[in-house]
Amino acid sequence: MGTLTGETDEPSAPVAEAPAVPAPAAEARALPGGRPASLSPSRAADFMQCPLLYRFRVIDRLPEKPSPAATRGTVVHAVLERLFDAPAAQRTADRARELVPGEWQRLLAARPELAELFAREDGGQDAERLAQWLADAERLVERWFTLEDPTRLEPAERELFVETVLDSGLTLRGYIDRVDVAPSGEVRLVDYKTGKAPAPQYASGALFQMKFYALVVWRLRGVVPRRLQLVYLGSGDVLTYDPVEADLLAVERKLHALWEAISLATETGDWRPRPTKLCGWCDHQAHCPEFGGTPPPYPLHLAPPAPRQAPPEESGG
């Protein structure tokens, strides 16, 4: 699929960036039970990792501190998206590196709270730490050029928001970093990761997100994407998978099973913690019984045994 490129050289319209963390609180609590509920790959992964983490993020909407790594990921994604605004011949590594500070400033203007990432105790800015962080982002951007050649790519879509409603009523949504369409009509879905590629035994977890997107695209366009591609800028690896219908039907079944489990937990208020080594990255240990904490009062009405209460809709990403 190395020759798979878009048939148009018209840049697609920029689309809003996927939120790094769940969107602000009020939305979820205001949802009436009958409103169509949704799943994104991120939140599905949250529930699979730890049901209590899902509750904290989707139902309680507990705030989370911005992290340098996640914020750097947002900046790098923005650079890789914006680079395609330039004519093919100008999509060079130098140009991409030059975009990094500007994309950081743009993000900071939209989310001023991110300034705290580089704040000194005296209230000033830690210029050295910021410079190091920007240099790391530039290195990640530069590595992309060893993995793909943007002068030979014309994405059909960038940061594409997709959403579909399954026959069951479950809404699936998310953002796809890049969609390439070959002259033959074959579709490739691409996702950039600023971390390292997983060990082979964990590759299926990484591909779950891509199969999720493939299912949504299949339902929307009636075409199974030819290739799913994960580009790991942290380690310089590319992971690909060519799905078939059976893969996507299996993902659909899995999502429905997840949906059932989330619905049951929503109805009963029984959100179990599932401690793993990933707890080290969790912002909610102070509320987690596994770490001696107490969850906040459950914000949803716990109905007596009765018709099932639909889980709240959550933001895409």
* Type of residue found at 41: P
- Residue 52 makes contact with ligand SF4 by CB under 6 A: yes
Tell me if residue 175 falls in helix, strand or coil.
strand
Q: How far is the CB of 68 from ligand SF4 (least distance, A)?
A: 20
Phi/psi of residue 217, each to 5°? -65, -40
Q: In terms of CB distance, is 222 or 292 closer to ligand SF4? A: 292
Beta bridge partners of 158: 178
Of the candidates 155, 153, 66, 80, the residue with the CA atom closest to the CA atom of residue 113: 66
Contact segment (CB under 6 A) with ligand SF4 among 5-13, 25-33, 144-152, 280-288 equals 280-288
The residues near 206 (Cβ < 8 Å, ≥ 6 apart) are 193, 197, 198, 230, 239
What letter represents residue 250's amino acid?
Answer: A
How far apart, in whole angstroms, are the C-alpha atoms of residue 265 and residue 51? 8
Q: Does 273 bind ligand SF4 (CB under 6 A)?
A: yes
Q: Residue 290 interacts with ligand SF4 (CB under 6 A)?
A: yes
- Which amino acid type is present at position 309? Q
- Interface pick for ligand SF4 out of 160, 197, 214, 282 (rule CB under 6 A): 282
Q: Which is nearer to ligand SF4, 55 or 97 (CB)?
A: 55
State the minimum distance, in angstroms, from the CB of residue 64 to ligand SF4. 11
Nearer to ligand SF4, 57 or 91 (CB): 57
H or E segment and range at residue 162: strand 157-165
Nearer to ligand SF4, 230 or 288 (CB): 288
Residue 288 as a binder of ligand SF4 (CB under 6 A): the answer is yes
Q: Which of 53, 114, 141, 300 binds ligand SF4 (CB under 6 A)?
A: 53
- Judging by DSSP bridges, how do beta strands 157-165 and 171-181 pair with one another? antiparallel
Nearer to ligand SF4, 235 or 285 (CB): 285
Instruction: Identify the DSSP state of 194.
Output: S
Min dist. Cβ of residue 46 to ligand SF4 (A): 9
**Residue ranges that bind ligand SF4, judged by CB under 6 A:** 50, 52-53, 273-275, 278-279, 282, 284-285, 288, 290-291
